[in-house]
Structure 1
Amino acid sequence: MMERIETDGVSAITFLPDPATVWAGLIAVASTEGGIDLFNPDGEPVYRMTGPRLWGLAAAPGFQLRGEALPLIFGADRNTNLVRAYALLRSGPEIIEAPIEPIGPEGEIAAVCGLGEGIGYVDLMVLSRGTTAEIWRISDNGGERIGADRRARFELPAPARTCAAGNDGIYASGPAGGIFRLDADGNALVQIDGFASSLAAGEFLGRPVLILSDGISRTLEIRDGTSLELIGNAVIRNGFSIPGIEQPGALAASAASFGGASYQSGLVAIADETDGRVRLIARETFARGITDVN
């Protein structure tokens, strides 16, 4: 099963599942022209927010403020050198800027990614344009603004421009430093040669997997989520009256249910650099399409 999202160009994608009403989950897309677009799982646009261009997107769909549900979306704004925070009002749906304490790295900001949610908080990793990475905890501390506390700062093996979390680890990649897997303290566990412009991590067919796009070739690399060994590749071909993907760019994966027979096990979203559109693919369909390289 595959759906297509029409956009003007994509710099990042994230998911906003709704566990209470699974078919009401949303996909958030950061436009290369600026702002955030919201789409439903059928690929239909439901809201457009104008605003700055954002580098990397992270979502906290389960975040609560004063005990009330307030899903949040985060993106790195290189113009202000800060992480922007936006609240999702599901009843609209509508996106409004959220009052949050300043989040900015020591140095020029490059990107942001989500590390996971807990009860009353969400953790983010903020990349600088150098080799510095920081981990911030976002929580409701009872103040006028949503709290933001820097919990760690460490040096990466090389500059990184994209990151992702999953499989009990953190992944990052940059223009010249390869691809690496980190632990929660920022220690490099594995480092390999290569480059990824976008990363997505998760479990596919019972195996921890890292999906990589380089923004240039037609093939997605599928690597073992622990060792980073190449285990296969994927090419998104034409199907169900939806064109394939010629040049995969920004991507994201979610194991949350988005309803229906096709999307109960989650979704993979991949932008095509050639036409600026996003394809939504059922997680199981994507897993079956992985070609073993051995």
Structure 2
Amino acid sequence: MTQEASAADHIALLPNGEARDAGLIIAAVRGGGFDAFNDFGERVFQTAGPALTSLAAVPAFDMRGTTLSLLFGSDADRLVRGFIVLPGMQAVEPLPLDVASVSDPVEGVCLYRRGTGFVELALLHANRRATVWRMMDTGGERLTLNRTAEIALPFTAERCAGVDGDIIIGSSTGGLARIDSAGSVRADADGLSVLHFAYTELYGRPVVLVPLAAEGVVGVFDARTLEEISAIEVRSEMSIAGLQRPGAITVTDLPFSGMGFSTGLAAIHDGEDGRIKLVTRDVLGRAVTAPE
């Protein structure tokens, strides 16, 4: 559990493969700026920044001989933004990113796919579509963005995640849907108000985790069919506070700092007390049954 994180609209995890105790939990604060915490819940630094409507993280990107942690998001002006988390300097600085070719307003940003020397971002737009952009370092003053795909969506989405060439989308009115690269709906779940979600695999089973604030639980959905599997309730234990009103969520399967998070963790903002609660993947895994 972290110190109070103001109103964290979005959360990103930045594990550090070279020094586990240097991993950071980044919160995009409502109204603008970033809070950064370690896994002990201590605030490492605060810094100014724009108000973001989405946030995606790339913990390690090799750029000109240096491995950097990058953040991407959309701001209140519906522009795509990029940031560098500077190692050892406790600062989040703008990423020199050429966004001139992105002309349509952006409702949300997520990581679509990664490869050697590139990152692909999915940008969500208001007219029921998403575009995919490949970011590369071509040696110029700015990193380049080139559009590689356009995907028709069944509804205007605010949240997304790239999964094996498909895109999972969510919105407060449209629920959840999984769309392939041709725009065909592979699965959907109507009747949900999805303000936040996270994709991960638990015991080899791909799942979507959806915070359900009114119920005080995190819904677990099969990422292939979007059928609900179960719900996770994080209760208070000894000195560890439970989760009362889950909101922004993110998950990593990479080792994060101490032994307790050696297989990764989930970070979930609790609107009840304004803190970010950390949940081990072992706890998350109890909500699913390993496939036979």
Shared topology, TM-score over 0.5?
yes
What is the distance in 2 between the residues matched to 1:189 and 1:103?
Answer: 33
| 1:105–1:133 Cα contact (<8 Å) kept | no
Out of 128, 141, 149, the residue aligned to residue 125 of structure 2 is 128
Q: Secondary structure at the match of 2:2?
A: strand
Query: Structure 2 length as normaliser, TM-score?
Result: 0.91
Superposition map of 1:224-235 within 5 A: 224-235=222-233
- Deviation at 1:4? 2.9
Out of 217, 220, 225, the residue aligned to residue 219 of structure 1 is 217
- Deviation at 1:291? 7.8
Out of 84, 88, 92, the residue aligned to residue 89 of structure 2 is 92
Out of 2, 5, 28, the residue aligned to residue 30 of structure 1 is 28
RMSD: 2.0
What is the distance in 1 between the residues matched to 2:157 and 2:66?
Answer: 35
Superposition map of 1:243-254 within 5 A: 243-254=241-252
Superposition map of 1:1-294 within 5 A: 3-79=1-77, 81-102=78-99, 107-166=104-163, 169-193=166-190, 194-288=192-286, 290=287
Query: Structure 1 length as normaliser, TM-score?
Result: 0.91
| 2:188–2:225 Cα contact (<8 Å) kept | no
| 1:9–1:275 Cα contact (<8 Å) kept | no
What is the distance in 1 between the residues matched to 2:176 and 2:114?
Answer: 24
What is the distance in 2 between the residues matched to 1:167 and 1:5?
Answer: 36
How many residues align? The count is 288
- Deviation at 1:50? 0.8
Question: CA separation of 1:95/1:285 partners in 2, compared to 1, >3 Å: closer, same or farther?
Answer: same
What is the distance in 1 between the residues matched to 2:101 and 2:244?
Answer: 35
Structure 2 residue runs without a partner (length 5+): none
- Deviation at 1:177? 1.9
| 2:70–2:83 Cα contact (<8 Å) kept | yes
- Deviation at 1:46? 1.0
- Deviation at 1:166? 4.1
| 1:167–1:225 Cα contact (<8 Å) kept | no
**What are the Cα deviations for residues 143-196 of structure 1, in whole angstroms up to 9, with x where unaligned?**
111111121122211111111234664211113222101234543211221231
**What are the Cα deviations for residues 259-292 of structure 1, in whole angstroms up to 9, with x where unaligned?**
322100001011112232210111112322x389
What is the distance in 2 between the residues matched to 1:233 and 1:141?
Answer: 45
| 2:202–2:288 Cα contact (<8 Å) kept | no
Structure 1 residue runs without a partner (length 5+): none
Q: Once the two structures are aligned, what percentage of the paired residues are identical?
A: 33
| 1:166–1:202 Cα contact (<8 Å) kept | no
**What are the Cα deviations for residues 62-88 of structure 1, in whole angstroms up to 9, with x where unaligned?**
212223222211111122x21111111
What is the distance in 2 between the residues matched to 1:103 and 1:216?
Answer: 41
What is the distance in 1 between the residues matched to 2:288 and 2:150?
Answer: 38
| 1:105–1:127 Cα contact (<8 Å) kept | no
Q: Secondary structure at the match of 1:23?
A: helix
| 2:62–2:117 Cα contact (<8 Å) kept | yes
